[in-house]
Structure 1
Amino acid sequence: MYILVTYPNARSNETLYPSAVVDRLESLGEVDWNDSDEQLSRDELRDRLEGVDVCVTGWGTHELSEYVLGEAGSLELVAHVGGSVASIASPALYDREIPVCSANHVMAPFVAEGILSYVLSSFRSVIDFDAAVKRGEWPSKAGDPTDSLYGATVGFVGLGTVGRTLLELLEPFDVTVDVYDPYISSDDLAPFDFATRADLESTLEGADVVSIHASKTPETLHMIDTDRLASLPDGCLLVNAARGAIVDEDALVDELETGRISAALDVYEEEPLPEDHPLRDIENVVLGPHVAGNPCRRHLADAVVTEVERFDRGDPLQHTVPRERYEMMTRDWLSA
């Protein structure tokens, strides 16, 4: 088996590609590593796909378009060390009936855990209390009580793999969850008797917490705009660890500056967040540098190599991305 790994300097990246994983991959056949510091250009990728059986992609790999696939007559599997394959796969790839798999299932629990940490730290004022104590203060127990997740109403904008995992984490908190996702049915929520489908307006208007899980597509760009932000109840917490462009950032700044709602953000329309961005000066927002799923990195390549091992043995693949799911995934070609 001839394998191409597109990610720059992958085999020297011990965090993303531990040496044991490198050894496992190399035991499966000849591996062509991208040992440069740069992503392969479209022409380089096209040339190096000639004779390749398995292409292992990563963040930043060019789309496997009709042009790029021109010399890829032997290609039988694309395995993506990452979550969304929307900017990697292509209709041409699916037209050729080449299976596409990803490590999205690995990322989801860590992202869900990150979202829960943002909710709990925001509700319990962890950052504010830490800063106050370090300033020599001792906030009075008789002061304003902190909020609690127990018994809260949570609104999901989108569901997806991360949302399903977050529902499992939320269950012990005796929450009520309203889910807006036009692509799911009631059966998708059957395992969670505390969660129900709802329209977007109801999901936003009745929530103590709103968590964004939608993919970034033309339909969801700035979905949470001025009017929808205004519909959030006073005191609502908006959490976004999906994609920054789903929320109109300028409108969010305006709403946060009123002090009426708060937010916890892990993603932004421009990343890194510009130094002069007004979000940096707002007190009622917790900011993270797109790290909600960060602990998963050491597990991604392991999961993908396991999938390549299944392919090599002729066993059924467990984490393929069907075409219909690919078409609904986040598009990174939209403004970030």
Structure 2
Amino acid sequence: MEVLVTIPDTDLRASFFPPERRERLESFGTVKWNPKPEQFTPEELQDRLTGADVCVTGWGTTKLDGSVISEADSLELVTHIGGSVASIGSHALYDAGVTVCSANAVMAEYVAEGILGFVLASLREIASFDATLKEGGWKDGSRRPESLFNATVGFVGLGAVGRTLLKLLDPFDVDVLLYDPYVSDREVTEFDAVERTDLEDVLGAADVTSIHAPKTRETLHMLDAERLACMPDGATLINAARGAIVDQDALIDELRRGRLSAVIDVYEEEPLPKDSPLRSFENVILSPHVAGHPSRYRMPDTILDEIERFSEGQPLEHSISRDRFEGMTNDQLTTRDGA
């Protein structure tokens, strides 16, 4: 079996593949590593896919479109060290019968854990109390910590992250309002205390609203000024999905008025510009796109396990169907694309 690793020769790849993981991967067959510190060009990747049975991709890998895979005469499996495969996959890849896998399920667990931490930190005013004490104060009468117990939590989208978060929320006896037009009623009935409704009702009734929708043409700036205005005074918005799902200027206006609170882990422009107004608000907790960060060091093992199953002819556990691929976040989209 021949395995092509497209991930550039950088510190990130070294963290993914320390000696013991390299040895394990190389035990499956011949491994060809990207020798460059940058991604393959489409032409380079097209050439190197000839003869490869398995292709290991990562963030930034050139899209495996029809032209790139035109000479991939042996390719059967693409394994992605990441969550969404929308930026590296293509319909041509699925048309060619290639199985696509990713560590999406693993990443979802850690993102959901991060979101739970964000919710609790916001409701309990942890950042504000911390700042007050570090400035020499004590209790601030204007700070009124709230509880997650028996709260109403809104989900904008479900997905793998939302499904995991529902399990983590179970001990808090929350009521969940869900907006996701792509989830079947049967899937919703699998979870207790989940009511399916429209987006405006979710935003209008939830104490905390968490976004789990993918970034697609339909969801770009889905939470605009009009929809953010539906949220009740004192509500909290959590965004650990993608920054472009929320109209950032509209959110800034709401935060400036002090009507809402927010925890933001993702932004339309990353890194967040130093002059962003978001940096100045007390009613927002900012996080540098790290909700799923602990998964980085576990995803490679997931992919290695999948390659081992493939090499032994066993059923795969992390394959991504064409339908799931079509609904995943596409980081190559911009707000202009969605206009």
When the two structures are superposed, what TM-score results if normalisation uses the length of structure 2? 0.96
1:169 alignment partner in structure 2: 168
C-alpha displacement of 1:280: 1.1
Letter in 2 for 1:267: V
C-alpha displacement of 1:9: 1.7
2:223 alignment partner in structure 1: 224
Distance 2:146 2:295 in 1: 29
Change (3 A) 1:264 1:239: same
C-alpha displacement of 1:143: 6.0
1:327 alignment partner in structure 2: 326
1:301 counterpart SS class: helix
Distance 1:310 1:13 in 2: 22
Distance 1:158 1:294 in 2: 21
C-alpha displacement of 1:187: 1.8
Letter in 2 for 1:250: D
Corresponding pairs, count: 335
Distance 1:236 1:280 in 2: 20
1:273 alignment partner in structure 2: 272
2:273 counterpart SS class: coil
2:39 alignment partner in structure 1: 39
Distance 1:133 1:124 in 2: 15
2:210 counterpart SS class: strand
C-alpha displacement of 1:193: 1.2
Distance 1:37 1:316 in 2: 34
C-alpha displacement of 1:74: 0.7
Segments of structure 1 that go 5 or more residues without pairing to the other structure are none
Letter in 2 for 1:131: A
2:56 alignment partner in structure 1: 56
Letter in 2 for 1:181: D
Segments of structure 2 that go 5 or more residues without pairing to the other structure are none
Distance 1:190 1:19 in 2: 46
Letter in 2 for 1:133: L
Distance 2:258 2:67 in 1: 51
2:15 counterpart SS class: coil
1:290 counterpart SS class: coil
2:186 counterpart SS class: helix
Q: Where does 1:117-132 land on structure 2 (aligned, <5 Å)?
A: 117-132=117-132
1:15 counterpart SS class: helix
Letter in 2 for 1:225: D
Distance 1:15 1:178 in 2: 39
1:147 alignment partner in structure 2: 146
Change (3 A) 1:144 1:56: closer
Further displaced range: 8-17 or 189-198: 8-17
C-alpha displacement of 1:185: 1.7
2:200 alignment partner in structure 1: 201
Conserved 8 A contact 2:118-2:238: yes
Conserved 8 A contact 1:154-1:176: yes
Distance 1:37 1:182 in 2: 42
Q: Where does 1:17-166 land on structure 2 (aligned, <5 Å)?
A: 17-139=17-139, 144-166=143-165
Q: Where does 1:291-302 land on structure 2 (aligned, <5 Å)?
A: 291-302=290-301
Conserved 8 A contact 2:10-2:37: no
Conserved 8 A contact 2:125-2:144: no
Percent identity over paired residues: 58
Conserved 8 A contact 1:10-1:33: no
- Per-residue deviation, residues 65-119 of structure 1 (Å, max 9, x unmatched): 1110121011011011100000111010011111000000110110001111111
Letter in 1 for 2:29: G
When the two structures are superposed, what TM-score results if normalisation uses the length of structure 1? 0.97
1:187 counterpart SS class: helix
1:9 alignment partner in structure 2: 9
